[in-house]
C-alpha cells in the first residue's frame, strides 16, 4: 500500500500577515497568498500551512481567536479562503489550517458571556478559580509569555487561567461542551475541504485537575491523548486528511506519545530546531528521532525554523556562514524519511531581523521586555526595489531591514548559486529521487565532523547524503566524495 501523502511531505509555513498584501494596508492577506501560489508551486513544496486568519483582536498575532469559523476582515472573507483552497488544490498543493484549542481570545463571545455573568453556562468553558486567602493567584503557574498565568476578573473577583497572554483565556477540556464545540469547528473546515490541521500547543489542553503548584502540572497530562483520539475519529471520516501537533516539549520521548495510528499523524519535533550545527548533535538527534517516529501511523518531522523561533541562518552563526550552514542542514534533513516543515523566507536565506523596540508587537516584548519573536515574522521581500519590496504598496506592519534589498526574490530568481535556486533544485531532486528510496537509513563511515547516510531503492540504486559540518574540506572514503566546508552533497550511485 502506498504511503499516505503526509508521511514524506514538504510543508511550507505561511505567516499570513507577512506573505503578500493585496490591498495596500500593509498586512498580508488571503488574496495575496492566492496570487503567489505559482511561486510556491515552482518552489516545489507539497503543502502549505496557513497561520491563523480568523477574527481576532491580534494581541497574539491571531493566536487569540474570537471566532473559529470566519476570516478576519484584515485577511479577507470566507470566499477568499475558498478560492485560495480551490486553486491550491488545482495546482496539487495541500492546505493545512491552524486550530487553536487551548485558549480563545478574551473577545470570543464565550468568554464575554462568561465574564458578564458568572452563572452563565459559558463560565464552565473556562478555568475560573478563587484566589488564595491572601488574595494571590490560585497557584504558582507562570505564563509562557512571562508573569503569572492568572488574571483577576474584576467583576467576580475570581482569577482565570491563561498559559499565554492574559488576552488568551484557557478552555476547560474537562467540560464535554468544549469537545463538542471543537468537533464542530473541525467539521466546518473539513467540509470546506482543508487537507489538515496544525494544532496549536497540542500538549497543553489538560492541566493537573487539582491545579497543584509546579510547572510540570500545567501541561502534558495523559488525559490529552483522549482528545487526539477523538479528533482522529472525526478526521478519519473525511478520508485522506492529516494532523500535525505543535507539541512544544523538548523531550522527544514525550512527544512520541502524541502520535500513532489512532492519535495525531505527526508532531513537530522541536529538539531538531535546538541542534547546534554540529555532526555529533545531528547524528544523536536524528537517530533518536528515527527510532521514535519512523513507525506505523506516523513519521518524523524536520523543523528548523518557524514563526516562534530564531531563524536558523542566525542560530547557525549568521552572515554568509550562517546561510551556508542553514542550507547544508536543510539539505541533510530533507533527504531523510519524514516530512520537512519549512518557514517562509528561509528559502531566501533570511536571518532574524532586528526589529526596533517601537515597532515590536509580540506580547512577549510587552510582558517581559525581551525582544520577542517579531524578528522572524518580518514580511517577505519579493522585490529589491521600493519601500514595500513588492509585499505591499503601503506601510508594512513590521519594518523591512537591509536584507530585503539584498535577498529579495527578484534578486535571486534565476541566479545560479542563490539560496532560492538552491532550494528549488533541492526540492526538485527530492521529488525525483526520494519517493523511490527505501525508508531505511544506513549510516556510513565519515571523517571527523562529517555525517553520511545511504538510502537504497528496490532496484539497488542508492542515494548517499553527506554533510561536512567543519570549516575545512573533507573526503568521504566510501564512496569517495569530496565535501566542501559546511555543505551537503547528494551523491547518486547505480
Ligand atoms: C503557539 C504559537 C505561538 C503562540 C502560542 C499561543 O506556540 O505557535 O505563536 O503565541 O501558541 O497560542
Ligand atoms: Ca492586506
CA atoms of 426 and 405, how far apart (whole Å): 24
Q: Give 272's pLDDT tier (boundaries 50, 70, 90).
A: very high
- How many angstroms separate the alpha carbon of residue 246 from the centre of ligand 1? 9
- 389 and 457, same domain (yes or no): no
Mutate which of 54, 60, 106, 368 to test ligand 1's pocket (most atoms within 8 Å of Cβ)?
A: 60
- How many angstroms separate the alpha carbon of residue 75 from the centre of ligand 2? 6
- 35 and 92, same domain (yes or no): yes
Decide if 134 is inside a domain.
yes
pLDDT at 2: 79
Residue 237 falls in the annotated catalytic set: yes
CA atoms of 396 and 413, how far apart (whole Å): 23
Sign of the C-alpha dihedral, residues 403, 409, 411, 417? positive
- 55 and 157, same domain (yes or no): no
Ligand nearest to the CA of 362: 1
CA atoms of 420 and 425, how far apart (whole Å): 9
- How many angstroms separate the alpha carbon of residue 43 from the centre of ligand 2? 23
- How many angstroms separate the alpha carbon of residue 88 from the centre of ligand 2? 20
- 55 and 123, same domain (yes or no): no
| Residue 487, pLDDT above cutoff 80 | yes
CATH number at residue 478: 2.60.40
Q: Report the pLDDT averaged over residues 352-369.
A: 96
pLDDT at 9: 98
pLDDT at 298: 98
- 128 and 75, same domain (yes or no): no
Ligand 1: residues within 6 Å at CB?
60, 63, 100, 164, 200-201, 246, 248, 307-308
- 406 and 353, same domain (yes or no): yes
Residue 309 Cα distances to 41, 132, 273, angstroms: 25, 36, 8
Tell me the sheet residues that pair with 102: none
Residue located nearest, by CA, to atom 2 of ligand 1: 200
| Residue 462, pLDDT above cutoff 80 | yes
| Residue 81, pLDDT above cutoff 70 | yes
Decide if 403 is inside a domain.
yes
| Residue 1, pLDDT above cutoff 70 | no
- How many angstroms separate the alpha carbon of residue 164 from the centre of ligand 1? 8
- The end-to-end CA distance of the chain, in Å, is 26
CA atoms of 456 and 213, how far apart (whole Å): 51
Closest CA to 289 of 250, 262, 263: 250
- 386 and 290, same domain (yes or no): yes
Decide if 219 is inside a domain.
yes
CA atoms of 236 and 261, how far apart (whole Å): 11
CATH number at residue 148: 3.90.400.10
Decide if 169 is inside a domain.
no
Decide if 442 is inside a domain.
yes
Q: Give 226's pLDDT tier (boundaries 50, 70, 90).
A: very high
Write down which residue in 367, 394, 426 finishes a domain: 426
Decide if 432 is inside a domain.
no
Report the atom number in ligand 1 closest to the C-alpha of 248: 7
| Residue 140, pLDDT above cutoff 90 | yes
Any residues with CB less than 8 A from the CB of 331 and at least 6 apart, and which?
Answer: 426, 465, 467, 487, 488, 490
Q: Which residues surround ligand 2, an ion (CB under 5 A)?
A: 21, 23, 25, 27, 29
Write down which residue in 370, 396, 426 finishes a domain: 426
| Residue 349, pLDDT above cutoff 80 | yes
**Global pTM?**
0.98
| Residue 240, pLDDT above cutoff 70 | yes
Residue 246 falls in the annotated catalytic set: no
Residue located nearest, by CA, to atom 9 of ligand 1: 308
Domains held by the chain: number = 3
Write down which residue in 372, 402, 426 finishes a domain: 426
pLDDT at 137: 98
Ligand nearest to the CA of 388: 2
CATH number at residue 328: 3.20.20.80
Closest CA to 314 of 365, 283, 349, 364: 349
- How many angstroms separate the alpha carbon of residue 51 from the centre of ligand 1? 10
Ramachandran sector of residue 76 (left: φ over 0; alpha: ψ -120 to 50; beta: rest): left
- 310 and 274, same domain (yes or no): yes
- 400 and 471, same domain (yes or no): no
- 454 and 382, same domain (yes or no): no
Mutate which of 50, 200, 364 to test ligand 1's pocket (most atoms within 8 Å of Cβ)?
A: 200
| Residue 51, pLDDT above cutoff 90 | yes
Report the atom number in ligand 1 closest to the C-alpha of 102: 12
Helix intervals (H) in 64-175: 78-90, 109-116
In degrees, rounded to 5, the angle at the alpha carbon of residue 306 between the alpha carbons of residues 301 and 312 is 90
Q: Give 374's pLDDT tier (boundaries 50, 70, 90).
A: very high
- How many angstroms separate the alpha carbon of residue 29 from the centre of ligand 2? 5
- 422 and 443, same domain (yes or no): no
What is the DSSP annotation of 157-174? Answer: --EEE-SS-TTSPBB-TT
Write down the catalytic residue from 8, 200, 346, 362: 200
Residue percentage of the chain with pLDDT more than 90: 99
Phi first, then psi, for residue 95 (nearest 5°) are -130, 120
Boundaries of domain holding 488: 438-493
Decide if 431 is inside a domain.
no
Q: Give 339's pLDDT tier (boundaries 50, 70, 90).
A: very high
- 444 and 394, same domain (yes or no): no
What is the DSSP annotation of 234-261? Answer: HHHTTSS-EEEE----S-HHHHGGGBST
Q: Report the pLDDT averaged over residues 379-391.
A: 98
- Sheet strands side by side (includes 150-152): 128-129, 159-161, 150-152
Please give the grid coordinates belonging to residue 438: 527505501
Ligand nearest to the CA of 51: 1
Q: Please provide the average confidence, as pLDDT, over all residues in the chain.
A: 97
Write down the catalytic residue from 3, 213, 237, 354: 237
Ligand nearest to the CA of 18: 2
> Which residue, chain included where needed, has cell 471520516?
237
Decide if 433 is inside a domain.
no
Mutate which of 61, 205, 308 to test ligand 1's pocket (most atoms within 8 Å of Cβ)?
A: 308
Phi first, then psi, for residue 378 (nearest 5°) are -65, 155
Q: What is the pLDDT of residues 305-333, one digit of tens each?
A: 999 999 999 999 999 999 999 999 999 99
Amino acid at each position: 500500500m502506498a504511503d499516505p501523502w503526509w508521511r514524506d511531505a514538504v510543508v511550507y509555513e505561511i505567516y499570513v500577515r507577512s506573505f503578500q498584501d493585496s490591498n495596500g494596508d500593509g498586512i498580508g492577506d488571503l488574496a495575496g497568498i492566492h496570487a503567489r501560489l505559482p511561486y510556491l508551486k515552482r518552489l516545489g513544496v507539497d503543502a502549505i500551512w496557513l497561520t491563523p486568519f480568523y477574527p481576532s483582536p491580534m494581541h497574539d498575532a491571531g493566536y487569540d481567536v474570537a471566532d473559529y469559523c470566519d476570516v478576519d476582515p484584515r485577511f479577507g472573507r470566507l470566499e477568499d479562503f475558498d478560492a485560495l483552497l480551490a486553486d491550491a488544490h488545482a495546482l496539487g498543493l495541500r492546505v493545512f489550517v491552524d486550530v487553536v484549542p487551548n485558549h480563545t481570545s478574551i473577545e470570543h463571545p464565550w468568554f464575554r458571556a462568561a465574564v458578564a455573568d458568572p452563572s452563565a453556562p459559558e463560565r464552565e468553558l473556562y478555568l475560573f478559580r478563587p484566589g488564595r486567602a491572601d488574595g494571590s493567584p490560585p497557584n504558582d503557574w507562570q505564563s509562557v509569555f512571562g508573569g503569572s498565568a492568572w488574571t483577576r476578573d474584576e467583576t467576580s473577583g475570581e482569577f482565570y487561567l491563561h498559559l499565554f497572554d492574559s488576552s488568551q483565556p484557557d478552555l476547560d477540556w474537562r467540560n464535554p461542551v468544549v469537545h463538542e464545540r471543537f468537533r464542530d469547528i473541525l467539521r466546518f473546515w473539513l467540509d470546506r475541504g482543508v487537507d489538515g490541521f496544525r494544532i496549536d500547543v497540542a500538549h497543553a489542553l489538560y492541566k493537573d485537575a487539582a491545579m497543584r503548584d509546579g510547572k510540570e502540572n500545567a501541561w502534558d497530562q495523559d488525559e490529552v491523548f483522549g482528545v487526539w483520539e477523538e479528533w482522529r475519529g472525526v478526521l478519519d471520516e473525511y478520508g485522506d486528511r492529516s494532523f500535525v501537533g505543535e507539541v512544544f516539549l523538548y523531550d522527544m520521548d514525550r512527544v512520541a506519545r502524541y502520535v500513532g495510528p489512532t492519535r495525531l499523524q505527526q508532531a513537530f519535533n522541536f529538539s531538531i530546531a535546538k541542534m547546534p550545527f554540529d555532526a555529533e548533535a545531528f547524528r544523536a538527534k536524528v537517530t533518536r528521532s528515527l527510532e521514535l517516529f519512523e513507525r506505523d501511523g506516523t513519521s518524523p518531522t524536520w523543523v528548523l525554523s518557524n514563526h516562534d523561533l530564531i531563524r536558523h541562518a542566525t542560530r547557525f552563526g549568521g552572515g554568509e556562514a550562517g546561510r551556508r550552514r542553514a542550507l547544508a542542514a536543510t539539505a541533510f534533513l530533507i533527504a531523510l524519511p519524514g516530512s520537512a516543515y519549512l518557514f517562509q523566507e528561509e528559502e531566501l536565506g533570511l536571518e532574524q531581523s532586528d526589529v526596533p523596540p517601537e515597532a515590536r508587537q509580540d506580547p512577549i516584548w510587552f510582558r517581559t521586555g525581551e525582544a520577542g519573536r517579531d524578528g522572524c515574522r518580518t514580511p517577505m521581500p519579493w522585490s529589491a526595489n521600493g519601500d514595500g519590496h513588492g509585499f505591499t504598496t503601503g506601510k508594512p506592519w513590521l519594518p523591512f531591514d537591509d536584507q530585503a534589498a539584498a535577498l529579495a526574490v527578484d534578486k535571486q530568481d534565476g541566479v545560479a548559486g542563490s539560496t532560492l535556486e538552491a532550494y528549488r533544485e533541492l526540492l526538485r531532486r527530492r521529488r525525483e529521487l526520494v519517493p523511490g528510496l527505501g525508508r531505511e537509513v544506513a549510516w556510513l563511515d565519515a571523517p571527523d565532523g562529517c555525517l553520511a547516510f545511504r538510502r537504497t531503492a528496490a532496484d539497488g540504486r542508492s542515494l548517499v547524503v553527506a554533510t561536512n559540518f567543519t570549516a575545512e574540506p573533507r573526503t568521504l572514503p566510501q564512496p569517495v566524495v569530496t565535501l566542501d566546508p559546511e555543505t551537503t552533497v547528494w551523491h547518486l550511485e547505480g
